[in-house]
Amino acid sequence: FETSQSDYSFTRVQAYQSALENDSGHATAYRELGLALRQNGQHNEAKLRLNRYLELRPDAVDRGIIQYYIDTP
């Protein structure tokens, strides 16, 4: 069967939310959830998750691009 892009994005969001329910300090899950939400057009929610990622990983190698995503509408 065929899965649409929106179904895939919704599944990604659910998976990362579930991971965070089990481990609220999982920085990578915050990053991936933020990126998935951003892709879905949920920019405010994405920014919250991406900010949390940077709080947990202040020395992240992708800090520049993540900060750009946070600062860009």
**Does the pLDDT at position 60 exceed 70?**
yes
Query: How far from 67 is each of 21, 59, 72, CA to CA, in Å?
Result: 24, 12, 9
Residue 67 structure tokens: 């900060």
- Lowest mean pLDDT of 18-22, 43-47, 64-68, name the range: 18-22
**pLDDT confidence of residue 11:** 86
Please work out, in degrees rounded to the nearest 5, the angle formed at the alpha carbon of residue 45 by the alpha carbons of 42 and 48: 145
Predicted structure pTM score: 0.85
**pLDDT confidence of residue 73:** 79
